[in-house]
Structure 1
Amino acid sequence: MRNLWLIFCREFSHRLRQPVWLVIGLAQPVLYMFFFGPLVKKFIEHTPGFPDGDIWTIFAPALMVQMVIIGSTFVGLNLLAEYRAGVFGRFQVTPMSPVSLLLGKVASVTTGVLIQSGLIVVVCCLAFGLRPSPAGLCLCLAIVGLLSVSLATCSYSLALRVKSEESLPVALNALILPLFLLSGTLLPITPELAPPWLWGLSRLNPVSYVMDASRASFRGDFSSAELLPGVIAVAGMTALSLVWGVTTFSKENS
């Protein structure tokens, strides 16, 4: 735990020394909020089949998941930079556990994403009068945090497998874009709105269940049938990614 804490402090201090990336990471969701949100609001008013709740209980969790996808999937590029510079090799010759190294890095990424997600909620509350359920907001942040853990772990693991700054972004884009589009983040994918083939494909995407659970928890609907499958999906993704990550980091350290 001490080594994990040291790695977390090292990684997070790097983020704090470059606050411009916090602003850049928030820019895209904020632009969606002001330039895309009003259109979705008008669309919801004239289209049946949308999830329960008003526009911001639907759209704010989507922006949080979008923040996770933006902020957690390309962190492997930073690991490759450390790998080329010899920093990763220096960690390998210390008594530090590979698990501590992985979890410290992932915890730093997840903390940054949760701070940005919280700021998104604050902007929605101040600018659009959003009033989320406190318990639902906490559960939504927990779901978003676990999703960040799974995606960041996969990004780090894939980086150590590929070890190529040219190939990694291509591989990540090829994997993330279908997951993002089929998750219903920009517009909810429901049986009433989507053609049968698109609805079927979305059900094969675990992130779509996480997105549904995020919306249900955010509006405080703890009896929703969408909540349990989403929690199971994000827990399964997190467990599988951590197993892959620990195995990859341990193998690299041996």
Structure 2
Amino acid sequence: MTTVPTTRGSAGGTTGGSDRARPAGILHDSVSVFVRELRPVVRDPFSLVFSLMQPLMFLAFFGPLLGGMTGLPLDQAFQWFVPGIVVMIALFGTAMTGSNLLFEIQSGAHERMLVAPVTRSALMVGRACKEMVPLVLQALVLSGVAVFFGFRPSLPGMAVGLAILAVFGVGLGALSYALAIVSRNRDWMFWTVQQGLTFPLMLLSGMLLPLEAGPRWMQVLSRFNPLTYMVDAERALFNGQFGDPAVAAGALAAVVLAVLGLTVGIRAMRNSI
């Protein structure tokens, strides 16, 4: 009896079985996809600087305004404000990443990737993990600029905070890619959902203004917003408060979102045609 070998990463149903049988192969493929997705960023680093324009505008104009509204000295206002802007970078940067995949789907590049000798799970994992790099680099640049405004972060706390934020970015990026796959024949759906969720999540997280001064219904809704826990955790860590319960809550929110995002994203990628 002749056994016909299967090709790992083929467009057929063998991919799912390969994902389960060859974890080392998935890791290798994920690294390959990660490197492929990172090349455009390395070739054009100015794209990272350009995407920082909006957070820098908030830093330059909204930060001093917040200090005047709260009566806090500028340096103390920035100790509260900058970690929220770092989370904003993660929100806007990773939520938009699905647009790149949507373009590849429409141009036919994604279809060629599906028949490449890599597992479909790796196509999602590698893409999602790539989002950690620009996210962390942008956060470092923004924090460096904020130093000129009196911002003084705890360096160990900042390192832990960025690690948690990177995990969060993996999950959010995977969900964005999954949305792009679902919206492949209706690109307007991607932008409608993306815009419809991004701004409410941002406003209900307290990253710009303290929600304690807001109406009760906003405070209740914020408890269901994972970004709220991320913002609170980043503020505690950037200020060196490792024992704050917000740190554990933020880490848990990041891990849950990463697991959820990768689960949904991998399933969408496996069913992608």
Q: Taking structure 2 as the reference length, what is the TM-score of the superposition?
A: 0.85
- Residue 130 (structure 1) shift: 2.2
Q: 1:125-161 CA distances to partner (integer Å, 9 max, x unpaired)?
A: 2x12322111110111012212211111100001111
Name 1:140's counterpart in structure 2. Answer: 161
Consecutive unaligned residues of structure 1, counting only runs of 5 or more, are 47-52
Report what 2:237 is aligned to: 217
Q: State the match for 1:23 in structure 2.
A: 49
In the alignment of these two chains, the number of paired residues is 245
Cα offset, 1:67, TM superposition: 0.7
Name structure 2 gaps, 5 residues minimum: 1-26
Note if contact 1:61-1:140 (Cα within 8 Å) is conserved in structure 2.
no
SS at match of 1:204: coil
Q: Deviations over 1:204-251 (max 9, x none)?
A: 212111111111111111121222222211211111111111111112
TM-score with structure 1 setting the length: 0.91
Indicate the structure (1 or 2) with the bigger Cα radius of gyration.
2
Match of 1:6 in 2: 32
Tell me the alpha carbon deviations over residues 144-182 of structure 1, each in whole angstroms, 9 at most, x when there is no partner: 212211111100001111212222111111122211110
Q: Which of 220, 223, 236 is matched with 2:256 structurally?
A: 236
**Structure-2 residue corresponding to 1:123:** 145
**1:179 aligned onto 2:201:** yes
Q: Deviations over 1:97-116 (max 9, x none)?
A: 11211121112222111100
- Contact kept? 2:92, 2:198, Cα under 8 Å: no
**Residues 132, 218 of structure 1: 8 Å contact kept:** yes
On the 8 A contact 1:154/1:245 being kept in 2, the answer is yes
Q: How far does residue 39 in structure 1 lie from its aligned partner after superposition?
A: 1.1
d(CA) in 1 for partners of 2:245, 2:35: 39
RMSD: 1.8
Is residue 41 from structure 1 mapped to residue 67 from structure 2 by the alignment?
yes
The percentage of aligned residue pairs carrying the same residue is 32
Question: Residues 25 and 70 of structure 1 are in contact (CA less than 8 Å); yes or no, is this contact kept in structure 2?
Answer: no
Structure 2 counterpart of 1:144, which letter?
A: L
Cα separation, 1, equivalents of 2:76 and 2:40: 38
Q: CA deviation at 1:8?
A: 1.6
